[in-house]
Amino acid sequence: MLRLGAHESIAGGLHRALERAASVGCESMQMWVKSSRQWTAPPLEEAEIAAFKAAEAETDIRPVVAHAAYLINIASPKSGLRKRSVASLIAEATRCEQLGIPYLVLHPGAHTGAGVDEGIRLAALSLSEVHAATEGFHLTILLETMAGQGTVLGRTFEELRAIIEATAQGERLGVCFDTCHVFAAGYELRTPEGYEATMEAFAAALGFERLKVIHLNDSRHPLGSHKDRHEHIGHGYLGEAPFRHLLHDARLDGLPGILETPKSADLHEDRENLATLRRLAKEAR
d(CA 213, CA 192): 21
Which is the catalytic residue, given 3, 20, 220, 230?
Answer: 230
Interacting span for Zn ion (CB under 5 A) from 121-129, 136-144, 224-232, 249-257:
224-232
Supply the DSSP symbol for 110: B
Binding mask 142-171 for Fe ion (x = CB under 5 A): --x---------------------------
d(CA 74, CA 154): 12
Indicate the residue among 147 and 162 with the shorter CB distance to Fe ion: 147
158 labelled catalytic? no
- Residue 32 CB, shortest distance to Fe ion, in Å, is 11
- Measured CA distances, 52 to 17, 29, 82, 105, 203 (Å): 9, 13, 31, 19, 35
- # chain residues binding Zn ion, by CB under 5 A: 1
Indicate the residue among 178 and 270 with the shorter CB distance to Fe ion: 178
107 labelled catalytic? yes
> Do residues 226 and 219 make contact, with C-beta atoms less than 8 angstroms apart?
no
d(CA 241, CA 191): 7
d(CA 57, CA 83): 36
Indicate the residue among 55 and 255 with the shorter CB distance to Fe ion: 255
27's contact among Fe ion, Zn ion, none, with CB below 5 to 8 A by partner kind, is: none
Interacting span for Zn ion (CB under 5 A) from 92-100, 119-127, 226-234, 246-254:
226-234
270 labelled catalytic? no
Spatial neighbors of 183 by CB under 8 A, at least 6 apart, are 189, 219, 223, 237, 238, 242
Q: Is 228 in the site for Zn ion (CB under 5 A)?
A: yes
228's contact among Zn ion, Fe ion, none, with CB below 5 to 8 A by partner kind, is: Zn ion
Contact pick of 95, 210, 215, 244 for Fe ion (by CB under 5 A): 215
Residue 186 — left, alpha, or beta (φ > 0 → left; ψ -120 to 50 → alpha)?
Answer: left
Amino acid letter, 225:
S
d(CA 85, CA 40): 10
Which is the catalytic residue, given 111, 121, 181, 221?
Answer: 181
- Residue 13 CB, shortest distance to Fe ion, in Å, is 23
Which residues contact Zn ion by CB under 5 A?
228
| Residues with catalytic function | 37, 67, 70, 107, 144, 178, 181, 215, 228, 230, 260
